[in-house]
Amino acid sequence: MYLICRDQIEKRIEDFIMKKRFMLTAAGAAATGIAGTASAVVVDFNHGLDRWAGEHSWQLYTSGSSVAVASMYISGSQLMYAGCSSLSFISGTASSHFGNVTGVMDLASGTYNVQMQDAYGDGWAWNSYQGGLTIGSASGTVSASSASFSFTVAGVPAPGALALLGLAGVAGSRRRK
């Protein structure tokens, strides 16, 4: 058994950190290159329904894809929302306004296209109420049998990548005495 004084312990710790600094910096840089953006961004939506809500439907596609990532459709007599969560319904106060469905979608960064339809062909309006769909800051409505709009979701840095860069910065900021 041998004793190590405090100065020797601090020196060993400092040497260890200095040797690992490059590895941590490289790991942080690699993480931002490989996983530079989070896989999903939570985006709010609001679907305003006129009195004839059973005529509404919509699909959300990633740009250039034919597979919907979210949709609203009618099954039997029920309104169905696929690819959406945290749904809530607020009943309309006027006879022409059935209500609003709100919720969220987890969307990857990229460009999206929304295709909206009205089965009867008279649009999403009844009397003085004009229904519509808002996803994030983009919105649209149907005035005849169909309409569409596009929007872009911007990615955010992945939390893990930011943590690795922060750790590399802390390790790199240590200086020898």
> What pLDDT, on the 0 to 100 scale, is given for residue 60?
98
Q: Can you tell me which residue has the tokens 């209500």? A: 99
- Sequential pLDDT tens for the chain (177 residues): 445 555 665 666 666 555 555 444 444 444 444 444 456 799 999 999 999 999 999 999 998 899 999 999 999 989 999 999 999 999 998 999 999 999 999 999 999 999 999 999 999 999 999 999 999 999 999 999 999 999 999 976 666 655 666 666 665 665 555
Domain boundaries, the chain: 6-36+157-173, 41-153
What are residue 54's phi and psi, to 5 degrees?
Answer: -65, -10
Q: What's the pLDDT score for residue 84?
A: 97
